Structure 1
Amino acid sequence: MKNIYNHISILLMLCCAFSCEVANDLDSFEPEFVLDAENAIKDANSAESALTGIYAVMWSPTLSSVAVANVRMGITVSSLFGPDEFDVNNPSVDNGTVAQFYTISYDVINRCNWVIDRVSQLSDSDGFTGNRRMEIIAEAKFFRALFNFYLLRRYGQFYDLDSEYGIVLKTTPSLESVAEPRSTVGQSYDLILSDLDDAIANVAPTTDPYYVGTSLAKGMKAKVLLYMGDFDAAADLAKEVIDNTSDIFELEQIYQNIFVEDFNSKEVLYAPFSRTPDQAILTGVQYTFAFSASPSFFEIAENATVIGGFPFPHDNLAVPIARTNYMRLPLGAFGDKIGKFLNFGDQVDTQFHLRLAEVYLIHAEAEARKTGGNIIEALGSLNTIRLRGLAIPYPPLVTKEQLLELVRIEKIIELAVEGGEEFFDMIRYENLDETGAFKVVDQKSVASDPNKYIWPIPRVSVEVSNGLVKQNPGY
């Protein structure tokens, strides 16, 4: 197993020798230091260093800020400073966070392309042991898939496979700015799935949740398949992850332990490694000082669904350490704060990209939605998460429609402020509801314009491309 500690000291060198900094906010690159990148990866050691540079980007404060922005598009937090463009679901084409994430995402993708391209040209005899050369390529492909998926969710009409508004796909390394048109949503998903398939085939199993492993790649593919509406495949793959991770990953028995252990939690499939406060993800700091859980979140948790004539509370608030109560821990003069991110000192906070609990809930939704799905099996996955959270399990009298809504609510409670998943779920549910009964605007009144469900392409990227990159409708 490779050791991240051995590579930390070379990251400053990588920033110079393997820089992909963007001179303009276009989705292509112009490095500040033009060391011959073609020759920067020439053996196993330099390949490991380049891959470590990709992992290092996951500590970026920009990624933390984007996670907070995603959450603010949803319904789980309130800002101490009043609403801004994200709170009212109307980010502008000149918004700094919108531009920064667009830039850093294509930076990471370009780094991945360099690793994939150059390591593919090496041979095992260039210092690699076992299957390590293919593993490095596969890990880079996973990150390329991850950031393409994140780009698609934010800047593309991810909910419509037939839409022309996908993302710009980059598959070759770049040393200069070259504008390219957007691909369709379907084409975007095709590349994401292809990269995840390569990752599943070639990455090594790992017990370290800050590295890419087989369970992570399968879990992320199950999530992508759910977004695509391939519920049969999503259910099967999620179940495979659940059934085959008992010796590597498992649910924490106590919910709070996830956030005490952070990236060392045994149920975390991927969270960036942070060794010192200098490498800390800033999510915790932002939530501690700037946000509180919203009244809407508590209202959802405190409500109940009537099943078989009896009300079943969405969360068990009678338990002091209930998940909902954990979202309003007292912090002196700062008031009630989000308890998931209150670590200071040697133990620093991280950002959770995928937990095993989410895979259970992916399975519950996909199993319920697929043709001929087993409602009892789907309910079992949902209740596993509820029981761990000390909530009352739902009975087998639940209908399919009730179950789907209860899964959505459970994800709000279980995954609150971990990345804004509830907002993407609202968009998916609206587009999947053929009756038109489910509306995003009914969940968040200011989210009344479907064009603003996704972010705009940054203005400068459209302008520099001379119109080759089309702006999203409504912007």
Structure 2
Amino acid sequence: MKKTINKYLIILLGIVITTSCDVLDQEPKDLIASSDAIVDARSAESALNGLYHTVQSGDLYGGRFIMSSEMLALNAEAAAFQAYWQELSTGNVPTSNAQLEFYWIAAYNAINAANNIIASVPEVTELSDADQDRMLGTAYFFRGLMFFDLLRQHGEFFDLGSIYGIPLPLEPSNVPKETARSTVQQSFEQINLDLEMAIDFLEDSGDKYYVSKGSAQALMARAALYQKDYATAISMANLVINNSQYELEEDYNAIFNVEDPSSESILELNFINLTDPNVWGVEMYVTPPEVAVRADLMNFFNSRGESERGGLFEANGNLYKCTKYGSAATDDMANTILIRLSEMYMIRAEASAMVAGGSLEDARTDINRLRSRAGLADISSIASEDALITILLNERRAEFAFEGQYWFDLVRLGRMEQVTGRPSYRRVMPIPLREMILTDDVLIQNPEY
């Protein structure tokens, strides 16, 4: 199935970021053109591999985006001197925070790489229909994922009527462009469109290192839940749950203690060599670590008798570390699981209770399925919507600790201020100061920053 999309002559936007232990060296130095145009099957495959490599950046899903959200959620803390970690750890994040800038650049670099594929691949006549579909579906998926995570971090995603969405560049460019922010509604509409295109193009695949129809349906379920489109969330979650390629692991720890994807994994990023490492080992397992697990999270696990899920957090001297991504400074090849099946059960539980005419009993059944695997007693009843929210937050915190979910759950379910004690405007991270300067204030800053 080929779709007609205009061809653009494109050079990918490359980012050179020099890093060291000196925080003054953490600023991005140059923007350089680093890739040739897509003109044949070989260059198209190279561009697709480059897209996977780009989303594995240490500032994206190679570690630091997840670490940042865990710090904001009070699951993690800064254990050394880096200023940007200290700021995220306290939640008092200024517009000059270096990690926000690194993330913003890396995310839009990935979007530009996806735009390059979307614009150019349909014109490569030597590609088969199946290869074109695979490439385009992957590009739409990652562009939708990047827009979604940018919106979650920098936009008022919890208010569909807000003007504070994100820039939505849809064409490739070899130079940074001044792109104004879209509204939250417009941002979600583009995310939905990209994921619909991904679902349309992609096929099911048994190789969980590559984007598939199932991973696009799973991400659509997540995005629909954030929009309170509960019917779509249930529909998409059901499609994934009923897909025979995915099955809950009986042993929670087995999800993370094996190199190859588990039966529960829907999409993993595979870190395979020294030129493509994750950064968890560098940040968490060195002595002293840059990032540590807060004692509050360990107390949470202990208070619940969480010997299974809490077993992936262990002492590291006077601190604690998460072992979902390895346990030593040399463990830089561990994979990042972007989506797994248990999230579909949690999405279905929440949506089943919140949809018009919904069922708290259906929600309880799905939640108890995950609690049972963790060795916990069933929840006997859910008395109210407020009680449901408390249960959802606790279960999601336990199930997805250090997987980058809990912070956004606190925000979207209206408990951020209560749990963290921060003012409500801190629900959203600021647009990085450098971007405001480079765009000559074309971007509008979030309120109160």
Structure 1 length as normaliser, TM-score? 0.82
User: For the structure 1 residues 428 and 347, does the alpha-carbon distance in structure 2 shift closer, same or farther, using more than 3 Å as the test?
Assistant: closer
Residues 117-170 of structure 1 deviation map (CA, whole Å, 9 limit, x = unaligned)? 0012233xx132x52212211110100000011110111111111111100001
Residue type at the aligned position of 1:45: R
Residue type at the aligned position of 1:276: N
> Of 428, 433, 436, which aligns to 1:462?
436
- For 1:326, the equivalent position in structure 2 comes to 312
User: For the structure 1 residues 177 and 340, does the alpha-carbon distance in structure 2 shift closer, same or farther, using more than 3 Å as the test?
Assistant: closer
**RMSD over aligned Cα atoms:** 2.3
- For 1:251, the equivalent position in structure 2 comes to 248
1:452 aligns with 2:407: no
Corresponding residue SS for 1:376: helix
Corresponding residue SS for 1:342: coil
Corresponding residue SS for 1:409: helix
- For 1:199, the equivalent position in structure 2 comes to 198
> Which shows bigger deviation, 142-151 or 43-52?
43-52
- For 2:164, the equivalent position in structure 1 comes to 165
- For 1:294, the equivalent position in structure 2 comes to 294
Give runs of aligned pairs for residues 310-349 of structure 1, distance below 5 A: 315-317=304-306, 321-327=307-313, 329-331=314-316, 333=317, 335-343=319-327, 348-349=333-334
Residue type at the aligned position of 2:305: N
Question: Do the aligned residues in 2 keep the contact of 1:222 with 1:233 (CA within 8 Å)?
Answer: yes
> Which shows bigger deviation, 140-149 or 273-282?
273-282
Deviation at 1:396, TM superposition (A): 4.2
Corresponding residue SS for 2:13: coil
Give runs of aligned pairs for residues 35-46 of structure 1, distance below 5 A: 37=36, 40-46=37-43
Q: What is the distance in 2 between the residues matched to 1:218 and 1:259?
A: 23
Residue type at the aligned position of 1:386: R
Corresponding residue SS for 1:211: coil
Residue type at the aligned position of 1:102: W
Deviation at 1:301, TM superposition (A): 3.5
Question: Do the aligned residues in 1 keep the contact of 2:267 with 2:337 (CA within 8 Å)?
Answer: yes
Question: Do the aligned residues in 1 keep the contact of 2:11 with 2:173 (CA within 8 Å)?
Answer: no
Q: What is the distance in 2 between the residues matched to 1:440 and 1:155?
A: 15
- For 1:307, the equivalent position in structure 2 comes to none
Q: What is the distance in 2 between the residues matched to 1:84 and 1:96?
A: 11
Deviation at 1:69, TM superposition (A): 1.1
User: For the structure 1 residues 179 and 23, does the alpha-carbon distance in structure 2 shift closer, same or farther, using more than 3 Å as the test?
Assistant: farther
Residues 10-40 of structure 1 deviation map (CA, whole Å, 9 limit, x = unaligned)? xxxxxxx95412589xxxxx962476x5xx2
- For 2:341, the equivalent position in structure 1 comes to 356
Task: Give unmatched runs, 5+ long, in structure 1.
Answer: 1-16, 25-29, 304-314, 431-438
1:21 aligns with 2:20: no
> Which shows bigger deviation, 459-468 or 105-114?
459-468
Q: What is the distance in 2 between the residues matched to 1:417 and 1:194?
A: 29
Residues 368-397 of structure 1 deviation map (CA, whole Å, 9 limit, x = unaligned)? 111111222221111111111111121246
1:52 aligns with 2:49: yes
1:175 aligns with 2:161: no
Structure 1 vs Structure 2: percent identity of aligned residues?
27
Residue type at the aligned position of 2:79: L
Question: Do the aligned residues in 1 keep the contact of 2:278 with 2:332 (CA within 8 Å)?
Answer: no
- For 1:433, the equivalent position in structure 2 comes to none
> Which shows bigger deviation, 82-91 or 49-58?
82-91
> Of 410, 415, 440, which aligns to 2:395?
410
Residue type at the aligned position of 1:339: T
Q: What is the distance in 2 between the residues matched to 1:49 and 1:279?
A: 15
Question: Do the aligned residues in 2 keep the contact of 1:284 with 1:342 (CA within 8 Å)?
Answer: yes
- For 1:98, the equivalent position in structure 2 comes to 100
Residue type at the aligned position of 2:300: I
User: For the structure 1 residues 263 and 154, does the alpha-carbon distance in structure 2 shift closer, same or farther, using more than 3 Å as the test?
Assistant: farther
Q: What is the distance in 2 between the residues matched to 1:20 and 1:193?
A: 25
Q: What is the distance in 1 between the residues matched to 2:417 and 2:34?
A: 49
Question: Do the aligned residues in 2 keep the contact of 1:211 with 1:270 (CA within 8 Å)?
Answer: yes
User: For the structure 1 residues 55 and 228, does the alpha-carbon distance in structure 2 shift closer, same or farther, using more than 3 Å as the test?
Assistant: same
Q: What is the distance in 2 between the residues matched to 1:346 and 1:89?
A: 29
- For 1:217, the equivalent position in structure 2 comes to 216
Task: Give unmatched runs, 5+ long, in structure 2.
Answer: 1-9, 18-29
Residue type at the aligned position of 2:293: A
User: For the structure 1 residues 262 and 69, does the alpha-carbon distance in structure 2 shift closer, same or farther, using more than 3 Å as the test?
Assistant: farther
User: For the structure 1 residues 326 and 57, does the alpha-carbon distance in structure 2 shift closer, same or farther, using more than 3 Å as the test?
Assistant: same
- For 2:20, the equivalent position in structure 1 comes to none
Corresponding residue SS for 1:324: helix
Deviation at 1:278, TM superposition (A): 4.0
Q: What is the distance in 1 between the residues matched to 2:417 and 2:43?
A: 50
Q: What is the distance in 2 between the residues matched to 1:200 and 1:411?
A: 26
User: For the structure 1 residues 364 and 357, does the alpha-carbon distance in structure 2 shift closer, same or farther, using more than 3 Å as the test?
Assistant: same
Corresponding residue SS for 1:21: strand
Question: Do the aligned residues in 2 keep the contact of 1:167 with 1:185 (CA within 8 Å)?
Answer: yes
Question: Do the aligned residues in 2 keep the contact of 1:231 with 1:369 (CA within 8 Å)?
Answer: yes
User: For the structure 1 residues 272 and 364, does the alpha-carbon distance in structure 2 shift closer, same or farther, using more than 3 Å as the test?
Assistant: same
- For 1:309, the equivalent position in structure 2 comes to none
Corresponding residue SS for 1:337: strand
Deviation at 1:415, TM superposition (A): 0.5
- For 1:3, the equivalent position in structure 2 comes to none
1:394 aligns with 2:379: yes
Question: Do the aligned residues in 2 keep the contact of 1:93 with 1:458 (CA within 8 Å)?
Answer: yes
Deviation at 1:91, TM superposition (A): 1.6
- For 1:233, the equivalent position in structure 2 comes to 232
Q: What is the distance in 1 between the residues matched to 2:259 and 2:73?
A: 23
Deviation at 1:78, TM superposition (A): 3.3
Corresponding residue SS for 1:383: helix
> Which shows bigger deviation, 223-232 or 453-462?
453-462
1:61 aligns with 2:46: no
Q: What is the distance in 1 between the residues matched to 2:256 and 2:69?
A: 20
Residues 317-373 of structure 1 deviation map (CA, whole Å, 9 limit, x = unaligned)? 4xxx4212432x244x46543232334568822222211111111111111111111
Q: What is the distance in 1 between the residues matched to 2:434 and 2:111?
A: 19
Residue type at the aligned position of 2:124: L
Deviation at 1:268, TM superposition (A): 1.6
- For 1:77, the equivalent position in structure 2 comes to 76
Residue type at the aligned position of 1:383: N
Residue type at the aligned position of 1:157: E
Question: Do the aligned residues in 1 keep the contact of 2:325 with 2:336 (CA within 8 Å)?
Answer: no
Deviation at 1:204, TM superposition (A): 1.8
Question: Do the aligned residues in 1 keep the contact of 2:277 with 2:332 (CA within 8 Å)?
Answer: no
Q: What is the distance in 2 between the residues matched to 1:393 and 1:405?
A: 15
Question: Do the aligned residues in 2 keep the contact of 1:196 with 1:217 (CA within 8 Å)?
Answer: yes
